[in-house]
Amino acid sequence: MSEATHDEVHRHPAPKGFIRKYIFSVDHKVIGIQYILLALSAVVVGMLMSVLMRMNLSWPGTKWPIMGTLFPTGAPNGVMSAEFYLSLVTMHGTLMVFFVLTTAPQGGFGNYFLPIQIGAEDMAFPVLNMLSFWVTFVGFIVLLTAIFAEGNQTIGAWFTKLGESAWGAGSGTVGPIGGWTGYAPLSALGKVAGPGQGAGVSLWIISIAIFCVGSLLGALNFITTLLNMRTRGMSLMRMPLTCWAWFTTAVLALLSFPVLLGGGILLLLDRMAGTSFFIPGGEFVSGSLIPNHTGGSPLLWQHLFWFFGHPEVYIAILPGMGATSHILSTFARKPIFGYRAMVFAIFAIGMLGFFVWGHHMFISGMSPYSAVAFSILTLSIGVPSAIKTFNWLGTLWGAKIRFTTPMLFAIGFVSLFVAGGITGLVLGQTSLDFFFHDTYFVTAHFHLVMGVASIFGMFAATYFWFPKMFGRMMNESLGKLHFWITFIGVYAIFVPFHAMGMLGMPRRYSNFGEYEFLKNSHSLVLFVTVAAIITVAIQIVFYFNFFWSMFRGKKASDNPWEATTLEWTTATPPPHDNFAGVIPTVYRGPYEFAVPGAPRDFIMQTEPEGVEVAAGLGERSGNGGNGHQH
Amino acid sequence: MAATVTSTEVIDAAVGGGPRPRGGNGFNKNGGRNGQDGEQLRFSPARYRMGVWVGICSIVMLFTALTSSYIVRSASGNDWQPIVMPKVLWLSTALILISSVTMEISRRSLKQQKDARYGRWLMITVVLGLGFLASQLIAWRQLVRQGVYLASNPYNSFFYLFTAAHGVHLAGGIMALGYLLVRTRRKRVTVEGELRRVGAADSATIYWHFMDGLWVVLFVLLFYWK
């Protein structure tokens, strides 16, 4: 590598060619948008799968047009098979959790705005940043390949050649059927475990492993950037809460993804190299004895998976919390209530998240003593969560709220977080979980709190930062229409889920018609399906608004929301090095709204204070500012 | 590990040194004399060291997951059959321990601006690292010849897995050292270039010591942990 290219890698002057500028770009802003577009693509597939699931549940046995042609084995004559349904469940979960809820909030918005909000010109390691996106993208492609390896006989046959015994292929489902949790031992056995457990599962594991690597590179970059590249005056306690959220998320990703990666390697070895990490001896599957395996522990997989899996749900929601705090304060025109408490609470939620994975496994036969410990730790997460909720409400209290679309979505986030979080207290208790485990009650809980709430955080972030990213405003009327229908829609979908769960309706079943005790709840199932179809359909308005506004929206000024943080001090959209060579200096905290005596109702972070105030603050804030003493 | 965090006195002299106005972001001296200081210097070598420490955290978690599985699995069945340690692993261990020393000598030489010495010891470290990998491969070959395969016993599975995972990470370290070695040929002209080189050498050293320590832990776990 020559000196010139070396400098280019690190300081990277604005690239000229299309490929360096938009495809293999090292600019964190371009990479952020790439992540957002990846999530926007994945979420379409995930949503369509959920509609197919609802259609199958509501009208089982119906011959759907097109489906028979697309999936001749999975949906013969257009009637979806049970395996087909399970593979929809699996791929919906995997796509949503990994490629939507993990990529958009952190990889997308975090990448774009963390460096700008701390006054850095880029991420700490721009090339690594580019790699982490493209590695993630490869993971996405491999996951899509899993669909075709299982769903299509012809394509599946190509993969069969890679190893008949462990792989198997072309089961005619849409993808692997192990669920997003891929529980061993079925996921560890290969195609002997049945349709949808062949090549698709191997590709599914490989895809997740690749995704882990991409996320780890990203997390490394986020942490280093935040610790090392803050601009002058940007002390930790002057950072916007979004930065704290992205930082905590990166710490969670850094510590949890390696565990999933390790588990994935073990699982893949079980499938492809004949080891027995997770496969016990003497196992019967579909009436045949599984030979050549002894002594493996299926529960070990659950421990490894959930040690990752629980932090993962916080990886999904914490950035939403950050964005919500940021946006609530901006449109309430008030400082965030209890900034310090918010910082500690978000960190506490993140750290506690590492010690509660057992609550996913209460019915696994664990010792009641450890179950109680996991239960108490789980319920204790309610404390920092309540701190955050009350601080959000405190921020809104007595405020002259500007009800813009991002604000509506941020308030919607608070609502959904409370509605979904409160059932966490129910499920976190061992005795109640024994009944609710694997029912629709669980599905309702995690969809509200980690699924929809996170998505609302991202909608808020999209409407809020769109003008900065693309230089144009999104349409407010369409935005409000989108908000109200989505908000009512998600409650209409997920509140009945609680009732279904209490009736004992098990999740992941493709058909409830055979069960006498569930016959009466069919109207509930139908209602949810109609609500789901309407809610999914209204997202077309969002997509239209997003892409239409990109080219035709009203031109945005540099600070359309009258916000205070650094991203609003620079041009719209920001230049290649974010601040056009002028490095900002920060003099104050991030949420200085309605400061008494100030000329406007907001003060930018870069506005210097009066001389004597500045001297006092300088002494206090420089927690590393002992430079003169060396 | 405190010794691996270098100061950058030499570099400071080159930029003109002297106290600068207070600034920076208040983390880890970044804001004082050694830190970033407005337009003059936007780069601090602390970035590389920090990056490598963060990376080490994730590698620690990977091996925590794998070693926990090892401990759990050893207790979950009665099919656990440890193997007799191939003697050549003592050679591996010796090689990697020595390589840590040579790496440290190399890093200190760079700090004292003895470029030729730095390059020489870097080269020796790379050779020792490759020797370690070769020695591990020999151990594998010996085991395979005895009929000890990956899937024949859970203990063997973990043995191959640990050595392979460690070997892959060490190979990454060797590539980093190779990169440093190629770059010793060129003179740094800019202050920032020099800072980057020091930062890169420091972080490679930290990583190398970590790989050394990791091997010792795995070695003890595989052959002395009961």
Query: ∠ CA A224-A226-A231 to the nearest 5 degrees?
Result: 120
DSSP A484-518: HHHHHHHHHHHHHHHHHHHHTPBTT-S--TT-GGG
Q: In angstroms, what CA-CA distances link A610 with A275, A471, B23, B39?
A: 69, 33, 18, 24
Q: Do A625 and B32 touch (CB under 8 A)?
A: yes
Q: Do B22 and A219 touch (CB under 8 A)?
A: no
- Of all residues in chain A, the percent with pLDDT exceeding 70 is 93
B133 touches chain A (CB under 8 A): no
Residue A602 structure tokens: 């907001």
Distance from CA of B91 to the nearest CA of A (A): 28
Element at A285 (helix H, strand E): strand A284-285
Query: ∠ CA A56-A57-A61 to the nearest 5 degrees?
Result: 50
Across A402-426, average pLDDT:
97
Across A6-20, average pLDDT:
62
pLDDT above 50 for A624? no
pLDDT in tens, B109-159: 998 888 899 999 999 999 999 999 999 999 999 999 999 999 889 999 999
DSSP A165-210: TTT----SSSS--STTTT-TTHHHH-GGG-TTSSHHHHHHHHHHHH
Counting Cβ atoms within 10 Å, is residue A266 exposed (0-12), middle (13-18) or buried (19+)? Answer: buried
Across A13-32, average pLDDT:
86
| pLDDT reported for residue A523 | 93
Q: Which amino acid is at A330?
A: T
A628 touches chain B (CB under 8 A): yes
pLDDT above 60 for A417? yes
Distance from CA of A467 to the nearest CA of B (A): 28
Q: Using CB atoms and an 8 Å cut-off, which of residues 49-68 of chain B contact chain A?
A: 50-51, 54-55, 57-59, 61-66
Of B61, B151, B186, Cβ closest to residue A274: B151
d(CA A427, CA A438): 11
Residues pairing with A602 in the sheet: A593
pLDDT above 60 for A584? yes
Counting Cβ atoms within 10 Å, is residue A66 exposed (0-12), middle (13-18) or buried (19+)? Answer: exposed
| pLDDT reported for residue A617 | 45
Chain B CA closest to residue A223: B54
Kindly give the residue spans of alpha helices, DSSP state H, lying in A273-401.
Answer: 298-332, 339-352, 368-380, 382-396
What mean pLDDT, rounded, does chain A reach?
90
Q: Do A276 and B54 touch (CB under 8 A)?
A: no
Q: Using CB atoms and an 8 Å cut-off, which of residues 150-179 of chain B contact chain A?
A: 150-151, 154, 157, 161, 165
Query: ∠ CA B124-B130-B135 to the nearest 5 degrees?
Result: 120
Distance from CA of B160 to the nearest CA of A (A): 11
pLDDT in tens, A337-348: 999 999 999 999
DSSP A115-150: HHHTT-SS-SSHHHHHHHHHHHHHHHHHHHHHHHHH
pLDDT above 70 for A1? no
B142 touches chain A (CB under 8 A): no
* Conformation bin of residue B43: beta by default, left when phi > 0, alpha when psi is -120 to 50: beta
The C-alpha R_g of chain B, in whole angstroms, comes to 21
Q: Do B58 and A255 touch (CB under 8 A)?
A: yes
| pLDDT reported for residue A570 | 94
d(CA A480, CA A502): 34
Q: Do B54 and A224 touch (CB under 8 A)?
A: yes
A294 touches chain B (CB under 8 A): yes
Residues from chain B that touch A282, judged by Cβ atoms under 8 A, are none
CB A454 within 8 A of CB A105: yes
pLDDT in tens, A101-135: 999 999 999 999 999 999 999 999 999 999 999 99
Q: Report helix angle B191-223 to B46-76, nearest 10.
A: 10
| pLDDT reported for residue A340 | 96
Q: Which residue has the higher pLDDT, A472 or A13?
A: A472
| pLDDT reported for residue A218 | 97
> Could you tell me which CATH number the domain at B2-223 has?
1.20.120.80
Residues from chain B that touch A276, judged by Cβ atoms under 8 A, are 77, 79, 151, 154, 157
Chain B CA closest to residue A300: B69
pLDDT in tens, A325-334: 999 999 999 9
Residues from chain B that touch A118, judged by Cβ atoms under 8 A, are 25
pLDDT in tens, A76-110: 888 999 999 999 999 999 999 999 999 999 999 99
| pLDDT reported for residue B188 | 64
Residue A174 structure tokens: 């849409």
Q: pLDDT category, A22, cuts 50, 70, 90? A: confident
A266 touches chain B (CB under 8 A): yes
**Which residue in this structure is represented by tokens 């371009």?**
A30
d(CA B156, CA A534): 55
Q: Using CB atoms and an 8 Å cut-off, which of residues 568-627 of chain A contact chain B?
A: 583, 585, 618, 621-627
| pLDDT reported for residue A12 | 57
pLDDT above 70 for A300? yes
Q: For A486, list phi and psi in degrees, rounded to 5.
A: -65, -45
Q: Which residue has the higher pLDDT, B4 or B149?
A: B149
Residues from chain A that touch B186, judged by Cβ atoms under 8 A, are 3
> Of the ranges A273-287, A544-558, A603-617, B182-196, which is most confident?
A544-558
| pLDDT reported for residue A622 | 36
Of B28, B34, B154, Cβ closest to residue A276: B154
pLDDT above 70 for B4? no
Residues from chain A that touch B46, judged by Cβ atoms under 8 A, are 228
A351 touches chain B (CB under 8 A): no
pLDDT in tens, A58-79: 999 899 988 888 888 888 888 9
pLDDT in tens, B132-144: 999 999 999 999 9
User: A170: which residues sit within 8 A by CB, 6+ positions away?
Assistant: A73, A149, A150, A151, A152, A153, A154, A155, A156, A157, A160, A198, A199
Picking from A9-13, A569-573, A580-584, B68-72, which range would have the lowest pLDDT averaged per residue?
A9-13
CA dihedral for A549, A555, A557, A560, sign (positive or negative): negative
DSSP class of A354: G
Across A487-503, average pLDDT:
96
Of A220, A275, A295, Cβ closest to residue B76: A295
Tell me, rounded to whole angstroms, the distance of Cα B162 from its chain centroid: 16
| pLDDT reported for residue A563 | 95
Chain A CA closest to residue B197: A6
| pLDDT reported for residue A618 | 42
Q: Which residue has the higher pLDDT, A274 or A342?
A: A342
Where exactly are the structural domains of chain A? 38-45+89-283, 331-556
Of B47, B79, B193, Cβ closest to residue A294: B79
| DSSP-based three-state secondary structure for A549 | helix
Of B32, B33, B54, Cβ closest to residue A254: B54
Q: Which CATH architecture has domain A38-45+89-283?
A: Up-down Bundle (1.20)
Residue among A410, A277, A391 at smallest CA distance from A339: A391
Of A118, A220, A261, Cβ closest to residue B51: A220
B193 touches chain A (CB under 8 A): yes
Residues from chain B that touch A578, judged by Cβ atoms under 8 A, are none
What mean pLDDT, rounded, does chain B reach?
82
pLDDT above 50 for A323? yes
The fold for domain A331-556 equals Cytochrome C Oxidase; Chain A (1.20.210)
Picking from A180-194, A374-388, B125-139, B168-182, which range would have the lowest pLDDT averaged per residue?
A180-194
| pLDDT reported for residue B27 | 41
User: A289: which residues sit within 8 A by CB, 6+ positions away?
Assistant: A282, A283
| pLDDT reported for residue A168 | 55
Distance from CA of B66 to the nearest CA of A (A): 6
Query: pTM here?
Result: 0.90
Q: Helix, strand, coil: what percent of chain B each, to 5?
A: 70, 0, 30
Picking from A268-282, B66-80, B103-117, B180-194, which range would have the lowest pLDDT averaged per residue?
B180-194
A257 touches chain B (CB under 8 A): yes
Residue B40 structure tokens: 């003059």
CB B194 within 8 A of CB B11: yes
- Of all residues in chain B, the percent with pLDDT exceeding 90 is 60
Residues pairing with B41 in the sheet: B37
Counting Cβ atoms within 10 Å, is residue A116 exposed (0-12), middle (13-18) or buried (19+)? Answer: buried
Residues pairing with A555 in the sheet: A472
pLDDT above 50 for A4? no
Do A331-556 and A38-45+89-283 have the same topology in CATH?
Answer: yes
Query: ∠ CA A415-A421-A423 to the nearest 5 degrees?
Result: 120
- Of all residues in chain A, the percent with pLDDT exceeding 90 is 74
d(CA A158, CA A147): 14
Where exactly are the structural domains of chain B? 2-223
Residue B20 structure tokens: 């600068």
